[in-house]
Structure 1
């Protein structure tokens, strides 16, 4: 199939939390209700599985396979896109997860840069990603750019130089960085069939104005309906309305950050706002302090009404 004929990724994609039981084991039973909540309550029709929000680097390869298979199976007929993150410190394990994602029906795969032995150049990073993508050559492949977490500061624009020749399945970037100049240069210099997904929720509007096709983020799990309103307002030319919604979310997140916002706090917010039981995070991420989530939920409801 001609790559240019493929459908681009657009809209909101929720970076899913990994459900755990009270004993800290993967809880597959929550995945079906989780998907229903995203589609019915938040209007979110795509997911990014086993990423940062999903605590992928705290999971075993076996657990990541179980989760990928369950998400893909339960999403059939309900979600438009299931992107499985397969990045690992071990190239061998990343390739194993990529091949597995293809087997269980993922729509696409993505990989962040390894961050213990870090690639020092764009060429080294391209070679690593080429090996990962080669294990699932029929799946669209995305680079997951998140320098604040990986410490890999190779500009995404530099990585894209010549990458289509090395990775024929390459289809774009999940750009979870704040450098909008780098993001803009990626978009302005890339073929039109690639998709650029912005990953910094608190400045989504800026990413959209720069040309993002869609967005991947953790807060879309429980605030997706409001971000959908933001995207609709911008599309209809109501920039002031889109800006108001973005400013409201910045108020919530700014307040949360003062209370130590991290994956653990974010996961507890999802539990309380959704009514799902996703459990606590896995160490070294610590559970949310008892009062923090309640205060953030209160602030959220003060700022936002139901969609």
Structure 2
């Protein structure tokens, strides 16, 4: 699953399957992989991120999940990206080393969000110390200021970042600041960084300014529909693309009211549906 080309298209931000008594249900990951590939036509995954509530899991649980996704994804998935961010730098470094050892396609890191970096240099220093523990593994920055409160603009962060993190490959951009995203894309065309948008209900807007694809929770179950939107946009058939984007918005409007207020503070609610 070592990436050989720029990451593009859809990446499913995976849910962490749980048993009713709150244990991780590793036994269903193989079904999960088959479902994504055969039913949703999605062959890239982002493990232990926000959707999987990775920051609510302990280190052992996160390692187990990463191992199982890499194991079950072999010869089926194109890329397994493992989020290794943590509030503790040593924990994040340990997870990065582990991801490299098990053969993850790439790693991603969120900004620490309790004792927050206050400027670009502080954030890059943290990211560099994690990336250096997996020096042969592609590295992505996971930008999600609505949850971290770290509002350092990605445009600023990317200036000279390859000098500090040679393995840097791109950004999971989970913010509605499309001006920042547009400037990132406009100023880094030569670098061939991948810009993957993380606000599912606004993906079409991000595609219009040059996003390469998307990482999101809805691609677990709306992967095929979203692929149709990507195809419509590429034709271009903007009316059809808008139709699919509006469908995603309607669906999320419904789901957010029912699920997210309950689940986002308690990873034990993610009981497997398989």
Does the 8 A contact of 2:22 with 2:268 survive in 1? Answer: no
Residue 222 (structure 1) aligned with residue 221 (structure 2): yes
Distance 2:61 2:136 in 1: 24
Question: What per-residue deviation string (whole Å, max 9, x for no partner) do you get for residues 18-45 of structure 1?
Answer: 1111110111101000000000000101
Does the 8 A contact of 1:130 with 1:167 survive in 2? Answer: yes
Q: Which residue number in structure 2 is paired with residue 78 of structure 1?
A: 76
Distance 1:235 1:192 in 2: 23
Does the 8 A contact of 1:113 with 1:152 survive in 2? Answer: yes
Say which one has the larger Rg.
1
Q: Which residue number in structure 2 is paired with residue 284 of structure 1?
A: 266
Q: Number of residues paired by the alignment?
A: 267
Q: 5+ residue gaps in structure 2?
A: none
- Of 146, 151, 154, which residue of structure 1 is paired with 2:152? 154
- Of 171, 177, 180, which residue of structure 2 is paired with 1:179? 177
Does the 8 A contact of 1:49 with 1:84 survive in 2? Answer: yes
Does the 8 A contact of 1:156 with 1:186 survive in 2? Answer: yes
Secondary structure (helix, strand or coil) at the match of 1:246 reads: helix
Q: Which residue number in structure 2 is paired with residue 59 of structure 1?
A: 57
Output the TM-score relative to the length of structure 2.
Answer: 0.94
Question: What per-residue deviation string (whole Å, max 9, x for no partner) do you get for residues 35-87 of structure 1?
Answer: 00000000101000000001111100111111101100100000001000000
Please tell me the root mean square deviation across aligned C-alpha atoms, in Å: 1.7
Distance 1:252 1:70 in 2: 30
Distance 1:163 1:112 in 2: 16
Distance 2:211 2:261 in 1: 24
Q: Which residue number in structure 2 is paired with residue 301 of structure 1?
A: none
Q: Which has the higher contact order (CA 8 A, sep 6+)?
A: 2
Q: 5+ residue gaps in structure 1?
A: 266-280, 289-307
Q: In structure 2, do the counterparts of structure 1 residues 221 and 192 end up closer, same or farther at CA, with 3 Å as the change threshold?
A: same
Q: Which residue number in structure 1 is paired with residue 164 of structure 2?
A: 166
Output the TM-score relative to the length of structure 1.
Answer: 0.84
Q: Which residue number in structure 2 is paired with residue 109 of structure 1?
A: 107
CA deviation after TM superposition for structure 1 residue 256, in Å: 3.1
Q: In structure 2, do the counterparts of structure 1 residues 263 and 220 end up closer, same or farther at CA, with 3 Å as the change threshold?
A: farther
